[in-house]
């Protein structure tokens, strides 16, 4: 009886193997493990088939109602960090395999930057967010 209810709960949970955090406006921090952690744009939560906005591996991030900022690194290959800024103030209907949809989304993604350009962009756009480590 308990096994049945356990399986029922597992089946009904949307993300049994994916840790996901909604960043607002159809953006999600999607994580399989400490390496496969990226930001996706998706109309459905727990799909893990959205449009990749910031590639793995996200090591730090922050967000508010208008912006997402993130720091990523290529784990094991280089110590060089990349910085990203996403303007969330838009909505678009995802049409599968449609380059114009992806183009609209990508036009709101800035980066990758080095740390100096990232800081300059934050100041220029008056973005008052501070990166925090992923958990």
pTM of the shown model: 0.83
Q: What DSSP string runs through the chain?
A: -HHHHHHHHHHHSS-SS-EEEEEETTEEEEESSSSSEEEEE-SSTT---SEEEE-S-EEEEEE-SSEEEEEEE-TTT---EEEEEEE--------TT-HHHHHHHHTTEEEEE-HHHHHHHHHHTT-----EE--
How far apart are alpha carbons 102 and 88 in whole angstroms? 14
pLDDT in tens, 80-116: 899 999 999 988 877 766 788 888 999 999 999 999 9
Q: Return the higher-pLDDT residue of 30 and 17.
A: 30
Averaged over 3-11, what is the pLDDT? 46
Q: Check pLDDT > 60 for residue 76.
A: no
Confidence category of residue 65, pLDDT binned at 50, 70, 90: very high
Q: What is the pLDDT of residue 100?
A: 83
Residue 49 has pLDDT above 50, yes or no: yes
Is the model's pLDDT at 78 over the cut of 80? no
């Amino acid at each position: 009886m308990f096994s049945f209810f356990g399986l029922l709960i597992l089946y009904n949970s949307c993300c049994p193997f994916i840790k996901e955090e909604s960043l607002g406006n159809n953006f999600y921090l999607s994580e399989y493990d400490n390496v496969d952690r990226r930001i996706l744009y998706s109309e459905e939560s727990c799909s893990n088939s959205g449009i990749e906005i910031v590639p793995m591996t996200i090591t730090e991030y922050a967000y508010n109602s208008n912006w997402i900022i993130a720091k990523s690194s290529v784990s094991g290959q280089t110590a060089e960090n990349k910085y990203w800024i996403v303007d969330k103030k838009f909505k678009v209907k995802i049409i599968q395999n449609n380059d114009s949809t992806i183009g609209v989304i990508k036009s709101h993604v800035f980066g990758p930057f080095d740390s100096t350009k990232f800081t300059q962009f934050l100041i220029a756009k008056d973005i008052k967010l501070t990166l925090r480590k992923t958990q």
